[in-house]
Amino acid sequence: MNRISSIALSGRFIRVWQRNLTVYQKIWKVVFLPPLLEPLFYLLAFGVGLSMLVGTVQYEGTAVSYMAFIAPALIAINVMQNAFFETTYASFVRMYYQKTFDAMMATPLSLEEIMTGEIIWGATKSLMATIVMQAVISVFGLIQYPAGLLIIPVAFLGGMAFGSIGLFFTGTVRAIETFNLPIFLFVTPMFLFSGTFFPLDTLPAWAQAFAALFPLTHLVTLARALCIGTLSAGLLWNVAYLIVFTLVFFPLAIRKMHQRLVK
Amino acid sequence: MEYVIEAKELRKSFNGVVAVDGISFHVRAGECFGILGPNGAGKTSTIRMVYGFSPMSSGTLQVFGIPITEGWRAIRYRIGVCQQENTLDPDLTVAQNLEVFARYFDIPRKEARKRAAALLDFIALSHRKDARVPELSGGMVRRLVLARALINEPDLLILDEPTTGLDPQSRHQVWERLERLRAKGLSILLTTHYMDEASRLCDRLIIVDHGRILVEGSPADLIRRHVGEDVIEVVTPDEALRTFVQSEQLSHEDLGHRLIVYGRASDKLFRKVSHEFCHQGCTLRMATLEDVFLKLTGRELRE
Would you kindly state where each structural domain of chain A is located, as residue ranges?
67-261
Q: Count of A–B CB contacts within 8 Å? A: 79
Q: Give the B-side interface with A, CB within 8 Å.
A: 14, 48, 51-59, 68-70, 72-73, 76-77, 79, 81, 83, 85-92, 96, 100-101, 103-106, 152
CB-nearest partner of A103 from B52, B57, B87: B87
The reported pLDDT for the residue numbered B246 is 85
The ipTM of this complex is 0.88
CB contact under 8 A, B91 and A23: yes
CB contact under 8 A, A100 and B87: yes
pLDDT in tens, B164-183: 888 898 999 999 999 999 99
CB-nearest partner of B85 from A99, A107, A110: A99
CB contact under 8 A, B55 and A106: no
Fold of B228-286: Alpha-Beta Plaits (3.30.70)
pLDDT in tens, A206-238: 999 999 999 999 999 999 999 998 889 999 999
pLDDT surpasses 50 at A1: no
Q: Report chain A residues whose CB lies below 8 A from the CB of B69.
A: 1-5
Q: Report chain A residues whose CB lies below 8 A from the CB of B57.
A: 2
Burial B159-191 (b: 16+ CB within 10 A, else e): bbbbbeebeeebbebbbebbeebbeeebbbbbb
Give the integer Cα–Cα distance in Å for B22 and B28. 20
Q: Report chain B residues whose CB lies below 8 A from the CB of A3.
A: 55, 69
Nearest-Cα distance to chain B for A27, in Å, is 10
Q: Report chain B residues whose CB lies below 8 A from the CB of A4.
A: 52, 55, 68-69, 72
- Least confident interval from A8-17, A38-47, B155-164: A38-47
Most confident segment among A37-46, A56-65, B203-212: B203-212
- Is A26 within 8 Å of chain B by CB? yes
CB contact under 8 A, A98 and B57: no
**What would the CATH number be for the domain defined by B5-223?**
3.40.50.300
Give the integer Cα–Cα distance in Å for A259 and A171. 8
pLDDT category at A6 given cuts 50, 70, 90 is: low
Q: Is the peptide bond before A39 cis (omega within 30 degrees of 0)?
A: no
Strands (E), B94-211: 156-160, 187-192, 204-209
SS3 content of chain B, % helix, strand, coil (to 5): 40, 25, 35
Q: Report chain B residues whose CB lies below 8 A from the CB of A1.
A: 69
Question: Where along chain B do its domains lie?
Answer: 5-223, 228-286
> Model pTM?
0.91
pLDDT in tens, A144-203: 999 999 999 999 999 999 999 999 999 999 999 999 999 999 999 999 999 998 999 888
